[in-house]
Chain A
């Protein structure tokens, strides 16, 4: 694995074999593989059960376990057809809404947090430490306490019921953790790089863009994925700010409503879940390579 963006630093050289790999190799390999397989199976099994369930007929789901599939395979696509039926469930519209909510809710906090993390790590200004601790501590404010005050503001400004409250709320809620994680990454960047740029007369703006941003890309991609997942799967914020109509509400909300006013609809939830997983999993697979060399947060100091 080559850590491309960091090759400019003399301290870190391309890694051929990581310590872990060596350790693993020396650990009796069959056991290591077995352990890995056990963990992987344990972690995948529950989801796998749901995947099978999503193709099973409604009554079978209620009456027998999903493993019955192996002895008595009954396959149907009805559950998937039902969730795309535009007259009732209509997941398509909510799918679009989820995307509309997610994109700004990832980009906005990401860029703001990058700026802030840079400031906390490399700019000496008064009150920096106190401010940083304050931002860090804000992670604990339970979202629930913010909902009514924020909705009141949104209603007064006249943007309630649009995408704006969701964008602003998600962006705000993401900031403390984003800043904390990015700061942990940014502060590990060798000081020499920044000093050198400063000597060349670069200001903080150009250092940020010319030096930091290229190094930060993987970390940003990594946090971007996390934030994307959190927003994509959020229900609480959506419940309060999006309501139940199909103009703004994301897919999670419709999934939650799927169970019907008074019924259980496990079959629809099963298929609906897989529709909603498609995007996050795709995003993960596509961006995984950034991920791998991405969050170097807290790695050994250069």
Chain B
């Protein structure tokens, strides 16, 4: 069961037995949980429900996370303690500052724009005849792997020289040419962070589907009476949106923004596949990968990961306050 399966039936069998094993584990947890009685039962049942999760997370995320924090105070090979030198590098080195700046641009733009597009689109297509088809179109990019997305956007951004016999194969440059302009080497132009913004477009393109789907569900759950009442009051469409729709889906928007912000902080494959982090487009998660894998600098990589932790703290704090307010 734990050995290599090489034919399809073997693989299937292995998968089924794994699922059975998992079901058995769950069964045991639930069995014990159902036996618990008495005053302390809530405590015990709570811990039992969380037991598998805590075990997996402790081994899979907490332990590596703590190790990373520890390693961030050591040198490239993890041999010598060097204090906060790695953090100094991140905060003083010119390249690293660009990386930090880019990450902040990403995390400010992506969640907001993706959520806005998702929300507007969800409202626009709501109840329309082609709703499910229309939604599938925006959802489609989510179904595409980054490797594939890289190819897709190559055919948007690609540059070909402006010469008589050479044709553009990137759509954007073709449009520029059609309108009498000259093709631009889009991905290596960092004036006004153009290339970073172009990469951000790709990520928004992928993530808007997530925002749209979740927000659409929330919109559909707004109780009818509220809407009816507002309508009887003769509320204008705009104030309907501002006074009814927005407040009703506010918590959902927070959830979506949070999820997207965290996802954006971790973004790495978009940058990796499209520019490799060159031309001043690198972000922390990509730089982390470069330092860990390419440059073999464990210490700096670890420190970069810790900076990611730190950047997410405001998001966590905000969410905790949300939870408190609701409670």
B5 CB contact (under 8 Å) in A43, A203, A247, A273: A247
B88 contacts A by Cβ under 8 Å: no
From known contacts A17-B227, A266-B154, infer whether A277 and B144 are also in contact, taking CB-CB under 8 Å. yes
A225 to B123, CA, bound (A): 22
Shortest Cβ distance from A46 into B: residue? B152
The answer on a CB contact under 8 Å between B210 and A226 is yes
Name B4's contact: one of A116, A161, A291 (CB within 8 Å): A161
The residues of B that contact A292 with a CB separation of less than 8 Å are: 132, 216-217, 220
Q: Does B53 lie within 8 Å of A204, measured CB to CB?
A: no
Interface 9-mer from B98-106, B185-193, B238-246:
B238-246
Chain A 17-44 near chain B by CB (<8 Å), digits 1 or 0: 1111111111100001101100110011
- Cβ of B152: which chain A residues have Cβ within 8 Å of it? 46-47, 49-50, 273
In the bound complex, how far is the Cα of B13 from the Cα of A96, in angstroms?
13
Interface contact B45-A204, CB-CB below 8 Å: yes
Contact between chains at A100 and B139 (CB < 8 Å): no
Please determine whether B11 and A100 come into contact, CB atoms closer than 8 angstroms. Answer: yes
Residue among A20, A142, A161, A276 facing the most chain B CB atoms (10 A cut-off): A20
Nearest CB on A from B188, distance (A)? 18
A269: nearest residue on chain B (CB-CB)?
B151
- Closest partner residue, chain A, to B36 (CB atom): A203
For the side of the interface on B, what is the size category? 35 or more
B144 and A273 within 8 A (CB): yes
Chain B stretch 200-240: residues in CB contact (< 8 A) with chain A: 205, 208, 210, 213-214, 216-227, 230-231, 236-238, 240
Nearest CB of chain A from residue B182's CB, rounded to whole Å = 16
- A1 near B151 (CB under 8 angstroms)? no
Given contacts A43-B138, A119-B45, A119-B49, contact A252 B145 (CB under 8 A): yes
Against B, the Cβ 8 Å flags (1 = close, 0 = not) of A245-257 are: 0011000100110
Q: Which of B4, B42, B259 contacts A181 (CB 8 A)?
A: B259
Instruction: Please name all residues of chain B whose beta carbon is closer than 8 Å to the beta carbon of A119 when the two chains form the complex.
Output: 45-46, 49-50
- The reply on A65 being an interface residue by CB < 8 A is yes
Which of B36, B52, B326 is the most central at the interface, judged by chain A CB atoms within 10 Å of its CB?
B52
A36, B124: Cβ atoms closer than 8 Å? yes
Does B11 lie within 8 Å of A296, measured CB to CB?
Answer: no
In the complex, A268 Cα to B195 Cα: how many Å?
27
State whether B169 touches A19 (Cβ < 8 A).
Answer: no
Q: Is A137 an interface residue (CB 8 A)?
A: yes
B60, B68, B127, B302, most chain A CB atoms within 10 A: B60
Output the nearest chain A residue to B248 by Cβ-Cβ distance: A300
Beta-carbon contacts of B129-143 to A below 8 Å, as 1s and 0s? 000101111111111
Residue from A43, A53, A168 within 8 A of B140 (CB atoms):
A43
Set A144, A248, A293: member contacting B220, Cβ < 8 A: A293
Name 19 extra pairs, CB < 8 A, besides A145-B305, A295-B218. Answer: A14-B224, A18-B222, A20-B245, A23-B123, A25-B237, A62-B169, A65-B169, A103-B15, A104-B22, A133-B320, A135-B57, A141-B65, A144-B288, A145-B302, A163-B14, A169-B60, A179-B53, A277-B143, A298-B252
12 A-B residue pairings within 8 Å (CB atoms) = A13-B224, A23-B245, A43-B205, A50-B155, A123-B45, A138-B57, A142-B305, A153-B59, A173-B60, A203-B45, A222-B214, A299-B251
Q: Residues of B at under 8 Å CB distance from A?
A: 2-6, 8, 11-12, 14-15, 18-19, 22, 26, 29-30, 33-34, 36-37, 41-47, 49-50, 52-54, 56-57, 59-65, 67-68, 117, 120-128, 132, 134-148, 151-156, 167-171, 174, 205, 208, 210, 213-214, 216-227, 230-231, 236-238, 240-241, 244-245, 248-255, 258-259, 262, 265-266, 268-269, 285, 288-289, 292, 301-302, 305, 308-309, 312, 316, 319-320, 323, 326
What 4 pairs between A and B have smallest CB-CB spacing? A125-B46, A26-B237, A172-B60, A298-B251
